[in-house]
Amino acid sequence: MADALSFTPVDGIGEVRPGDDLAAIVASLTELADGDVVVVTSKVVSKSLGLATTRAKDELLADETDRVVARREQTVIVRTHHGLTMAAAGIDNSNTGPGTLLPLPVDPDGEARRIRSRLREVTGRTVGVVVSDTAGRAWRVGQTDIAIGCAGIVPVESFAGRTDTHGQPLVVTAPAVADEVAGGAELASGKLGGRPVVVMRGLAAHLLTADDGPGAAAIIRDEDGDLFGLGSRDAVVEALADAGSVVRGFPVTEAEVADLLALAEVPDDVEVTVGETVGVRAPSHRAVEAGMFVQRLLALATAHGRALSAQVDVQP
């Protein structure tokens, strides 16, 4: 039987200031054991790094944004330079000084490795570290904490090749261990408890790593595998307004182009050639239909996460 899991908030941390040694603070307030996992909120990591700023939020958000995923009135969902998809790029104005904002650490995995190394130095213990932050989920109300950085633990455990209790093969089951640890820690600390560090004990030994491991970056789905890279309305707007410019140029195969052309339905009397640019040649009396076809094609390409361009040549 697996050991029981425990999540214990660390009391007494107080206000974290620029330059504070988080590992030394934690070590002074709790007794760690080998195999523990120390979960630290990104907020106190950012504070210790001196990232609090009084810059305008729009300006800071622009700097933190790699691309906008969806926008509804004041809510902006973006993909950050870390590869995370979050509301307002994870910028926070709670539990910090009036008029100040806290962006996420530039390198959350690097900070997790640094804290882990420092904890080993000051305690002699080998532990895992998770840097957590709060995020919403598509299709679900509310937020939960996720791991944006980690070291010393397996971030994702693949069950591929195993079978369930009924002998059925498991193909895609892969628990996001680091996220589960972050979520459990948030339950223990409480959102308003003022306890930004939680020690988890009892994680299965095979989920701990002797080295730092791949980090939480391993949990981020790359853009080519992201089936929901834009909000549904935003995908249409991007395709119509900017010819799919938000798409990152993922390679498009001839077979994929053929599928897109079939879906877009080439009009009668319109000739299509496929090269680096899709050429669309139409007689003048079919110019409108050709233009509509190109917009359908670009919208479909954007929806499929493929960069495609088209050139219309109207013949007299």
Q: What pLDDT shows up at residue 1? A: 38
Average pLDDT, consecutive stretches of 10 residues, N- to C-terminus, the chain (316 residues): 82 94 97 98 96 94 91 88 92 84 96 98 97 91 95 90 75 87 94 88 96 95 77 70 55 75 85 81 86 83 75 83
> So where are the chain's domains?
6-51+105-220, 232-315
User: How much is the pLDDT for 199?
Assistant: 98
282-302 pLDDT, tens per residue?
A: 888 888 888 888 888 887 877
According to the model, what pLDDT value does residue 10 have?
Answer: 96
Distance CA 91, CA 54 (A): 12
Fold assignment, 232-315: GMP Synthetase; Chain A, domain 3 (3.30.300)
pLDDT at 194: 83
Cβ atoms within 10 Å, residue 259: 13
Multiple choice CATH, 6-51+105-220, 3.30.70.1340, 2.170.270.10, 3.30.1330.100, 3.60.21.10: 3.30.1330.100
What is the pLDDT, as a whole number, of residue 239?
A: 63
Give the separation between CA 183 and CA 254, rounded to whole angstroms: 43
pLDDT of residue 272: 83
pLDDT at residue 243 in the model: 52
- The answer to whether 190 and 7 are in contact (CB under 8 A) is no
pLDDT the model gives residue 38: 98
